[in-house]
């Protein structure tokens, strides 16, 4: 059996449309010892391919991290198969809050073996990732973050917190998880050893490792939101709890975000209009991730700049020649930090864009 995908994006979309499958977006992770990740990876690929699962999964000697789309009519089969794997038996599955943002959350099945399921930059052999902080259910989380002796920290990256976060949370301006660990310790935790440290992220995987790391570093009162923002939002809805999250939860699939509250706390990176819709620049030599409103999407034809807009109108052969041999991952992972984003680069000059009122309204909403 072939253990990888060979179809183009267009072919994958057409295939999914023909199938007419409705997907359930599922995420889960587990830190565990996997002696031979490649063998485990191949086993998963064969098992999931048979029932039409799509999505992205990372496997390493330290565990598994999965964000996948499961055919709704095969969900029980998927769950049965998964729970037959000893270290995944009974594992919590986070289900999407909002499935309406994209027709297909994922287009193909990708399972990759990596050195770690979450890159952290840590090389301490005495660090035990399973010695994690205390998990908080939604009710416990709401109570603890109201305590003035609590520090609430968002463990996600800047482009995620820009569109949504918990009220009163510290949102470090970082590009990666590995960046966040030393910055948070140096700038926010040192000197606050007696306070309650509460962390949250999208589904829990970053907090799981971070809570264990900070315990390893000597901090005592370390907590994490169980199941992350995804489970919290579902629990608040199911149990009628107060939702303390404002805006959108950024997600790593074709939806790029799920609405948690009606607040829009971000702005278009090109004009400054209130907006929290992420897009990728359609220029194949760029694909920069940024926030774009409908008006700018029409004006720039889905591009991040007039430069990229000019490129997409060139003949395909000329476009290929321009990007030949160029590595663009540095642009992709800037995630909204490009110098091409007009308003983003001039955000300290809102008067030029007539945004005095918008800026004040956004500040009052996030208090």
Active-site positions read: 201
DSSP track, 150-166: EEEEE-S-HHHHTTEEE
Contact 130, 172 (CB under 8 A): no
The DSSP output letter for 277 is: -
Phi and psi for 169 in degrees, rounded to 5?
-80, 150
The side-by-side arrangement of strands in the sheet containing 150-154 is 134-136, 222-225, 196-200, 150-154
What does the alpha-carbon distance between residue 174 and residue 180 come to, in Å, rounded to a whole number?
6
Q: Strand (E) positions, the chain?
A: 23-31, 54-60, 63-71, 94-95, 109-113, 134-136, 150-154, 164-166, 196-200, 222-225, 245-249, 258-259, 278-280, 289-291
3-class secondary-structure state, position 71: strand
Bridge-based pairing state of the strands 258-259 and 278-280: unpaired
Bridge partners of 82, per DSSP, are: none
Q: Tell which residue, 277, 272, 283, has the closest CA to residue 259.
A: 277
């Amino acid at each position: 059996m072939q253990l990888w995908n060979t179809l183009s994006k267009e072919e994958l979309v057409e295939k999914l449309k023909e199938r007419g499958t409705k997907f359930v977006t599922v995420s889960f992770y587990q830190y565990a010892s996997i002696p031979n990740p490649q063998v485990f990876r191949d086993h998963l690929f064969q098992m999931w391919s048979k029932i039409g699962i799509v999505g992205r999964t990372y496997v390493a000697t330290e565990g598994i991290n999965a964000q996948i789309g499961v055919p709704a009519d095969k969900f029980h089969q998927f769950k049965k198969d998964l729970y037959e794997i000893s270290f995944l038996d009974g594992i919590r599955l986070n289900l999407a809050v909002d499935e309406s943002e994209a027709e297909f959350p994922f287009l193909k099945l990708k399972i990759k073996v990596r050195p770690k399921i979450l890159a952290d930059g840590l090389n301490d052999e005495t660090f035990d990732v399973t010695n994690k902080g205390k998990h908080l259910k939604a009710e416990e989380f709401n109570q603890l973050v109201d305590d003035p002796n609590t520090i609430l920290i968002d463990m996600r990256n800047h482009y995620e917190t820009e569109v949504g976060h918990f009220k009163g949370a510290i949102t470090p301006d970082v590009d990666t998880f590995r960046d966040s660990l030393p910055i948070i310790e140096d700038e926010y935790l040192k000197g606050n050893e007696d306070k309650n440290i509460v962390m949250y992220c999208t589904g829990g995987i970053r907090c799981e490792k971070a809570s264990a790391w900070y315990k390893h570093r000597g901090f005592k009162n370390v907590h994490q939101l169980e199941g992350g923002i995804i489970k919290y939002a579902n629990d608040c809805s199911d149990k009628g709890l107060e939702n303390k999250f404002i805006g959108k939860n950024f997600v790593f699939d074709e939806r790029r975000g799920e609405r948690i509250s009606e607040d829009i706390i971000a702005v278009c990176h090109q004009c400054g209009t209130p907006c929290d819709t992420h897009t990728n620049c359609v220029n194949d030599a760029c694909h920069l991730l940024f926030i774009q409103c409908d008006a700018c999407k029409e004006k720039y034809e889905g591009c991040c700049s007039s430069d990229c807009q000019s490129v997409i109108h060139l003949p395909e052969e000329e476009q290929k020649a321009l990007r030949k041999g160029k590595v663009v991952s540095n642009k992709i992972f800037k995630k909204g930090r490009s110098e091409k984003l007009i308003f983003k680069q001039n955000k300290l000059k809102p008067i030029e864009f007539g945004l005095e009122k918008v800026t004040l309204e956004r500040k009052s909403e996030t208090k």
